[in-house]
């Protein structure tokens, strides 16, 4: 599934919204204790998202000058770094442990999981992406099992895996409650679920929808690759985890290693043809942050 790039939200940028973000934050805080369990996305909303990018013929994941390769150059340093920090904190040796990535795409994260030492499986609904991932793993000498399937119906017995990874995928599925239920089912007791996803905020609508996808001055993703109504607030995923016997532990945000003006300048250079996606990937990476307005990560443990 697709993966995401993020901008840092500074206090100054928040003030520029004439108090709108401040008011929204108050309303959100007031309603935190009244958060409803997130339900299956309606057909009317789900039909807006375009997941067909992952079905394009050929390798759209590992070519340096492609948007999805930014996952390796710009996102993986943060994503893999976060996963490694959790594994180290928990004192777990991946050797001999089993791991599943739900929504493994072309294998960009899956290969990193395998290199950690896990016996690794990836499941992905796109046949083209599965083939790309399998071919790249074979060429790289990595023993990874890839299968075609969906997060709503994982073809594995109960208590099959020590770890499950699902990164920048949850905001693409129609039945999020079913996906979380399935992940809990296939996790062993004491197993760890590591995830990241997009937060549903005013800032994420501006950045992830308008700047990334719609405003041609900066856009670098296809239109409708993300749908804002499908983004997930931290409190919503926490409620789903609790409902499915998963003990939530923490959330962490992310931000680019450059300022907002510089990041916009980078995107503008790509639009104008002065830079390629490869140039973009060489010049910025995500780093850990306390800002969870857009892309955030977390983990939980199966009770």
Q: Is residue 214 part of a domain?
A: yes
Q: Is residue 158 part of a domain?
A: yes
For the entire predicted model, the pTM comes to: 0.88
The two tokens of residue 258 are 């450059």
- Report helix angle 234-243 to 176-186, nearest 10: 50
In 32-100, where does DSSP find H-type helix? 43-46, 70, 76-90
| Position 19 confidence tier, pLDDT thresholds 50, 70, 90 | very low
The separation between CA 218 and the C-alpha centre of its own chain, rounded to angstroms, equals: 21
| Residue spans of beta strands (DSSP E) within the chain | 98-102, 119-124, 144-148, 161-167, 187-198, 246-256, 286-289, 295-302
Determine whether 1 is exposed, middle or buried from the number of CB atoms within 10 Å of its CB (0-12, 13-18, 19+). buried
Count of helix runs (H) and strand runs (E) in the chain: 12, 8
Number of domains in the chain: 1
Q: Is residue 265 part of a domain?
A: yes
Q: Is residue 10 part of a domain?
A: no
* Cα→Cα distances 262→64, 215, 283, Å: 22, 17, 10
| Position 200 confidence tier, pLDDT thresholds 50, 70, 90 | very high
- With CA atoms as reference, report the closest residue to 287 among 87, 82, 71, 67: 82
| pLDDT tens digits, 177-196 | 999 999 999 999 999 999 99
Q: Is residue 140 part of a domain?
A: yes
Half-sphere exposure of 163 (CA within 13 A, CB side): 30
> Is 138 in contact with 155 (CB distance < 8 Å)?
no
The two tokens of residue 37 are 């369990």
Q: Is residue 2 part of a domain?
A: no
- With CA atoms as reference, report the closest residue to 212 among 203, 204, 221: 221
Domain range spanning residue 92?
A: 42-302
Q: Is residue 32 part of a domain?
A: no
Q: Is residue 160 part of a domain?
A: yes
| pLDDT tens digits, 242-293 | 999 999 999 999 999 999 999 999 999 999 999 999 999 999 999 999 999 9
Domain with residue 81: its CATH number is 3.40.50.150
Q: Tell me, what's the pLDDT at 35?
A: 54
Half-sphere exposure of 295 (CA within 13 A, CB side): 26
């Amino acid at each position: 599934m697709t993966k995401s790039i993020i901008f840092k939200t500074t206090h100054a940028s928040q003030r520029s919204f004439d108090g709108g973000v401040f008011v929204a934050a108050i309303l959100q805080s007031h309603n935190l204790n009244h958060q409803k369990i997130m339900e299956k996305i309606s057909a009317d909303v789900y039909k807006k998202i375009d997941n067909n990018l992952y079905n394009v013929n050929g390798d759209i994941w590992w070519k340096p000058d492609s948007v999805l390769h930014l996952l390796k150059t710009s996102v993986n340093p943060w994503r893999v770094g976060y996963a490694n920090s959790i594994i180290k904190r928990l004192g777990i040796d991946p050797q001999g442990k089993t791991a599943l990535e739900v929504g493994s795409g072309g294998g960009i994260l899956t290969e990193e999981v395998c290199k950690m030492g896990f016996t690794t499986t990836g499941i992905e609904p796109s046949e083209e992406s599965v083939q790309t991932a399998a071919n790249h793993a074979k060429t790289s000498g990595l023993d990874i099992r890839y299968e075609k399937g969906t997060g709503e119906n994982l073809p594995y017995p109960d208590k099959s895996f020590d770890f499950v990874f699902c990164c920048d995928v949850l905001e693409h599925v129609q039945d999020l409650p079913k996906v979380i239920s399935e992940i809990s089912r296939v996790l062993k007791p004491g197993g760890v679920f590591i995830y990241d996803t997009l937060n549903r905020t005013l800032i994420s609508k501006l950045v992830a929808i308008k700047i990334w996808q719609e405003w041609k001055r900066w856009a670098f993703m296809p239109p409708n690759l993300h749908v804002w109504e499908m983004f997930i607030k931290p409190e919503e995923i926490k409620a789903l985890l609790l409902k499915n016997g998963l003990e939530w532990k923490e959330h962490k945000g992310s931000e680019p290693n450059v300022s907002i003006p510089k990041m916009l300048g980078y995107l503008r250079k790509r639009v104008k043809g002065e830079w390629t996606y490869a140039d973009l990937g060489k010049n910025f990476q995500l780093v850990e942050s306390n800002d969870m307005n857009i892309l955030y990560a977390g983990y939980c443990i199966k009770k």
